[in-house]
Amino acid sequence: MLDYLVQISVEETGKQFVGTFSDADLVHLLSPRTGRAFDLENYKAYLTPDGKISLARKPSYEEYTTLTLAELVRALRSAVSIKMW
């Protein structure tokens, strides 16, 4: 299983989000359920109706971030295309 490292500058907080996602995570993120929590390999995720996703790092869930799903998917697609080369 491939893991993809993404780094995103979160506009609202001005902080950097760095995370690792798997192929299975990418599938979940391309068709998420709004308003319900779902599990990713390293995160518990929740998608809001306004297109923002909250990610809480497992297992403690103490470290979390909120960003737009579009930003995350764009960064993941970029990471996938880089790994393909």
**Per-residue pLDDT in tens (0 to 9) along the chain, 85 residues:** 568 899 998 877 788 999 999 999 999 999 988 999 999 999 999 999 999 999 999 999 988 999 999 999 999 989 888 766 5
pLDDT at 9: 87
Range of the domain at 58: 3-84
Q: How far is CA 78 from CA 8, 41, 51, 83, 85, in A?
A: 12, 19, 20, 9, 11
pLDDT at 84: 60
With a CB cutoff of 8 Å and minimum separation 6, the contacts of 33 are: 47
How far is it, in rounded angstroms, from Cα 26 to Cα 23?
A: 5
Q: How many domains does the chain have?
A: 1
pLDDT at 80: 83
Record the pTM.
0.84
